[in-house]
């Protein structure tokens, strides 16, 4: 009788919930159907601060506390039975852990000290979309419960396409970025002002979020959640010199700070292109609507000046963030867009959402144009199907963006959407802004 037939019979043996399952010798399981790297797809979900400690480039390590809950995410197109195993080991002695999927749990004993295949058991997936395997520690003889490098899945639920992060774990763990790309009026002499509003629903102000309101060809302007105690208004302009190291920018290509607002910090930035950055620490609140105003126009010596103002209901007035001069550029505002991104890998499994409303532009002759049409797009993480937890479109008369959280109701990219026009152009005292 062949090893393959023995393996088939073994996988057909039913397992009841909470059944103890000893580790399975790797000789009995050849070539699992799909291998999911723990390093790219696992998170500590009950304490994001533990992610850098427990999840490493090698996978799950330093897992020592019973209170730690680890989830590994993947998405299936098919339903039915799924067999799960993992490649892992203990430092010494024996560990007992619980694995749960779809409401069913198995208790697994691990005693191999070299990496080997450990069988967890059979589970049922009854609905397509994102799934997660959850691990909790029960008992251990060593200081840690186990090290796990990958999860091995097979069975009918994997016969359709299975999605997970296969490479580029840094961006995959951050999650997909999503964008609203505004359709601009074609009959204008140059767009000089861009107005937008953002409202973040309660609970969507997740740490690591950047709700970018006024994006343009040369920079971006929006609000961030930087830590449990700090939030920022951020405005940045890229240098025309292409480099990720601001120290490499020649003098004639450097962004020039013209002025900045009260309590605004300015500096250079890098690692995503380079240029000038400004931010103000401001404890904006979920549920409030914030207003953004960006100006861009040609300036002296083949340059363009960009200026950002912010209006908070807490202050009741427009306040300057900063004004930058970009050399080697001579244009008005172009390529206007908004985005939502997560810039912290630790909060990759947490959902966030923002509403973007009442967008307007004002041209150089003083005429206002309402922006009510967009194309919904997403970044490379979404396009190569590393993460499919993204959506956007129109809701409650406003554009919205949503990402992360491993929700299953995604929006197809590159669709066009239109929101109802409000006809309520912003009333702004431009002379009073400066």
Tens of pLDDT, residue by residue over 333-367, are 999 999 999 999 999 999 999 999 999 999 999 99
Residue 286 has pLDDT above 90, yes or no: yes
Weakest-pLDDT range from 168-172, 304-308, 430-434: 430-434
Token pair belonging to 331: 């244009």
Closest listed residue to residue 13, CA positions, set 124, 121, 157? 121
Cβ neighbours of 33 (radius 10 Å) = 13
Q: How confident is the model at residue 7 (pLDDT cuts 50, 70, 90)?
A: very low
Q: Is residue 33 over pLDDT 90?
A: no
Q: Which structural domain, as residue segments, surrounds residue 182?
A: 175-433
Taking the C-alpha atoms of residue 335 and residue 217, their distance in angstroms, rounded to an integer, is 5
Q: What is the mean pLDDT of the chain?
A: 92
Considering the domain architecture, whether residues 194 and 328 belong to the same structural domain is answered as yes
Greatest Cα pair distance in the chain: 88
Whether residue 338 is found in the same domain as residue 358:
yes
CA pair distance 59, 55, nearest whole angstrom:
6
Which pLDDT score is estimated for 18? 35
Between CA 156 and CA 371 the distance in angstroms is 47
377 contacts 390 by C-beta, under 8 angstroms: no
The pLDDT of residue 15 is above 50: no
pTM, rounded to two decimals = 0.90
Partner residues linked to 120 by β-bridges? none
**Using one digit for the tens of pLDDT, what is the confidence trace for 192-210?**
999 999 999 999 999 999 9
Beta strands 209-215 and 256-260 are unpaired
Are 317 and 355 members of one domain?
A: yes
Q: Which of 9-13, 62-66, 124-128 has the lowest mean pLDDT?
A: 9-13
Do 187 and 83 lie in a common domain?
Answer: no
The one-character DSSP state at 322 is E
pLDDT of residue 271: 86
Average pLDDT over residues 104-123: 97
Q: Indicate whether 160 and 245 sit together in one domain.
A: no
Q: Which positions ≥6 away from 44 have C-beta within 8 Å?
A: 50, 51, 54, 55, 68, 69, 70
What CA–CA distance (Å, rounded) separates 307 from 299? Answer: 12
Q: Can you give the CATH number for the domain in which 395 is found?
A: 2.60.120.200
Q: At residue 148, what are phi and psi to the nearest 5 degrees?
A: -130, 125
Beta pairing class for 20-21 and 104-110: parallel
- Count the residues in the chain: 434
Domain with residue 22: its CATH number is 2.60.120.260
Q: 164, 186, 210: which is the final residue of a domain?
A: 164
Q: Are residues 103 and 243 in the same domain?
A: no
Q: 9 pLDDT exceeds 80?
A: no
Average pLDDT, integer, range 228-249: 96
Number of domains in the chain: 2
The bridge status of strand 337-342 relative to strand 209-215 is antiparallel
- Measure the CA angle with vertex 126, ends 12 and 153; round to 5°: 50
């Amino acid at each position: 009788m062949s090893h393959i037939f023995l393996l088939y019979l073994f996988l057909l043996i039913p397992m009841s919930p909470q059944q103890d399952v000893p580790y399975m010798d790797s000789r009995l399981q050849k070539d699992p159907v799909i291998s999911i790297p723990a390093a790219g797809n696992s998170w500590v979900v009950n304490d994001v601060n533990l992610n850098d400690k427990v999840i490493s480039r090698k996978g799950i390590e330093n897992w020592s506390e019973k209170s730690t809950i680890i989830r590994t995410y993947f998405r299936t197109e098919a339903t039915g039975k799924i067999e799960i195993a993992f490649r892992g080991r203990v430092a010494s002695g024996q560990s007992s852990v619980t694995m749960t999927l779809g409401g069913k749990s198995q208790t697994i004993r691990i005693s191999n000290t070299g990496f080997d295949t450990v069988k967890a058991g059979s589970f049922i997936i009854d609905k397509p979309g994102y799934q997660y395997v959850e691990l909790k520690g029960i008992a251990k003889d060593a200081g840690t419960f186990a090290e796990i490098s990958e999860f091995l899945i097979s069975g009918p639920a994997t016969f359709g396409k299975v999605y997970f992060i296969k490479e580029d774990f840094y961006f995959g763990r951050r999650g997909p970025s999503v964008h609203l790309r505004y359709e601009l009026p074609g009959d204008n002499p140059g767009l000089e002002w861009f107005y937008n509003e953002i409202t973040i629903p309660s609970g969507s102000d997740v740490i690591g979020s950047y709700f970018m309101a006024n994006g343009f060809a040369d920079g971006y302007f929006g609000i961030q959640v930087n830590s449990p105690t700090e939030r920022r208004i951020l405005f940045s302009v890229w240098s025309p010199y292409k480099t990720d190291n601001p120290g490499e920018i020649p003098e004639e290509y450097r962004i020039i700070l013209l002025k900045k607002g009260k309590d605004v910090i300015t500096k250079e930035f890098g690692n995503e292109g380079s240029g000038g950055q400004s931010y103000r620490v401001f404890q904006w609140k979920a549920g409030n609507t914030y207003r953004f105003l960006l100006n861009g126009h040609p300036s002296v010596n083949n340059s363009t000046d960009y200026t950002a103002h912010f209006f908070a209901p807490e202050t009741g007035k427009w306040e300057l963030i900063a004004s930058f001069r970009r050399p080697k550029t001579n244009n008005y505002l172009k390529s206007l867009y908004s985005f939502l991104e997560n810039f912290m890998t630790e909060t990759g499994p947490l959902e966030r959402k923002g509403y973007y409303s009442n967008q307007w532009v004002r041209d150089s002759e003083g005429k206002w144009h309402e922006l009510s049409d967009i194309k919904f797009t997403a970044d490379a993480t979404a396009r190569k199907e590393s993460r499919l937890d993204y959506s956007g479109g129109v809701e409650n008369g406003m554009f919205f963006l949503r990402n992360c959280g491993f929700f299953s109701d995604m929006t197809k990219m590159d669709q066009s959407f239109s929101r109802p026009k409000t006809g309520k152009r912003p009333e702004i005292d431009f002379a009073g802004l400066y």
